[in-house]
Amino acid sequence: MKHFLDIADFSAEEIRGMLTLGLELKAEQKNGQSRPLLKDKVLAMVFQKPSLRTRVSFDMAMRTLGGDALYLSPQEIGLGKRESIADIARVLSGYVNVVMARVFAHDHILELAKWSSIPIINGLSDYNHPCQAMADALTIMEEFGDLKGRTVTYIGDGNNVALSLMKVVTKLGAHFRIAAPENFGLSANDIEQSLQFAQLSGGSITQFHDPSAAAEGSDVIYTDTWTSMGQEEEAKMREKVFPPYQVNQTLVNLAKPQAIVMHCLPAHRGQEITDEVADGPHSRLFIQAENRMHAQKAILINVMNGIEDDAK
């Protein structure tokens, strides 16, 4: 069974293949030439966490490819509470062709994949966000042609978005920098894994506490919210720690002249990013958001082709 759970599960060639397909599908859609590659296929979208981009981008990806999507709210499913995850996975396997789940605990994604007889796509967990990383890489590729040799700098909390970004850029030969406050960086185990990817691809990883040093000479400046869903009780503490890590024009000026600024959204304007940057000439925030749909079209086709291949 071909799931999409973690960037680490895929080779650089597989990732590049999906990204290239995503860009081709984007160009086709812009020209009104979308192909019904998933005709009569149905995606079930299981949500524990709300999302504008994940819900609409997956729904529209399926519609564009000739398929359909079903939204299942937390109240309808009660993942692991109202009904066991094993039972939910097996029930959905009898109804639909593929499941995307956006959850809190990463174990829930792994449990769905264990019991499902159809592909499971990780739409987000507290551990990682591989669909976002694919859209991020697609955006960088669209801008620069390739990631190899580019410097991608993440400023802020070492969260699930930062982790998947690190994995995809090191897989593809880019230089990953992260500037985070002490005790808010990425784990040593995750960095060690991505260092192995970087050794194979010619990339690198550098950790900073000083955001200005990290931003200098970068091709990409990336940031995210200081407080993720599920961390609300830490919000006041984090608002005291993270202000030096704001992405503002002064910081962006340290990057290369053609640098782009990215944010997975939703943005807390005036906190991790200023209006001047979010709406400025370096910003790719809304292209990046649109690219969720195009990257996910490629992911859906990739996992669904696994079913077709097995059936041959």
**Residue of 264, 282, 294, 296 marked catalytic:** 264
Q: Using DSSP, state whether 231 is helix, strand or coil.
A: coil
Place of tokens 């939910």: 88
Catalytic annotation present for 90: no
Q: Which residues are 151's β-sheet partners? A: 175
**Residue of 132, 271, 288, 296 marked catalytic:** 132
**Residue of 284, 292, 294, 296 marked catalytic:** 292
Catalytic annotation present for 294: no
Q: How many Å apart are CA 79 and CA 14, to the nearest integer?
A: 31
**Residue of 29, 48, 59, 102 marked catalytic:** 102
Residues 6+ apart with CB under 8 A from 145: none
**Residue of 157, 224, 263, 271 marked catalytic:** 224
Query: 3-20 as b/e, with b when 16 or more CB fall inside 10 Å?
Result: bbbbbbebebeebbebbe
Catalytic annotation present for 132: yes
**Residue of 129, 177, 263, 282 marked catalytic:** 129
Q: How many Å apart are CA 91 and CA 274, to the nearest integer?
A: 46
Catalytic annotation present for 279: no
Catalytic annotation present for 129: yes
Q: Is the CB of residue 127 less than 8 Å from the CB of residue 309?
A: no
Q: Using DSSP, state whether 311 is helix, strand or coil.
A: helix
Residues with a catalytic annotation lie at: 102, 129, 132, 224, 264, 292
